[in-house]
Amino acid sequence: MMIVRAASHTKDDTCPACVVAGGFIFLAHHSGGHEKADAVYQAKASLNALQKTLQSVDASLDDMVQLTLYLKHRHDFPAVRDTFREFFTDGHYPARMTVFTDFINENCLCMIDGTAVVTSNH
């Protein structure tokens, strides 16, 4: 089995943006938009970053099968959840787990990771 590790998308070289192995794409934490204290804004930036990483390995958000949404504040969940409608095809959402946590970056309100499947046309 061949394992491919993408370059890091952070300043931490111990964390590749994703690892492709065994027909799956394992995505590291993705975040962004920290210049604005708005969880929806950061969720969109996180999903755009995730999309960029997937494109780098010839995949897309449609290939996502599992996603973990990390939020700093519970009250942000409904609005952030609704942003998924802008990024995923209706009825084709990945399985999702939501976790409420604190982040190393004090400005971070949202982070996303997950797993995608390598489709047959790759």
**pLDDT recorded at residue 50:** 96
**pLDDT recorded at residue 29:** 94
95-112 confidence digits (pLDDT tens) = 999 999 999 999 999 999
**pLDDT recorded at residue 15:** 86
Output the 3-class SS for the chain.
CCCEECCECCCCCCCECEEEECCEEEEEEECCCCCCCCHHHHHHHHHHHHHHHHHHCCCCHHHEEEEEEEECCHHHHHHHHHHHHHHCCCCCCCEEEEEECCCCCCCCCEEEEEEEECCCCC
Examine the pLDDT at 57 and tell me if it is beyond 70: yes
- In contact, 19 and 30? CB cutoff 8 Å: no
**Mean pLDDT within 22-41:** 96
- In contact, 50 and 30? CB cutoff 8 Å: yes
Examine the pLDDT at 122 and tell me if it is beyond 70: no
Domain 27-114 sits in which CATH superfamily?
Answer: RutC-like (3.30.1330.40)
Geometric angle at alpha carbon 85, from 95 and 92, rounded to 5°: 40
Examine the pLDDT at 13 and tell me if it is beyond 50: yes
The amino acid at residue 103 is: F
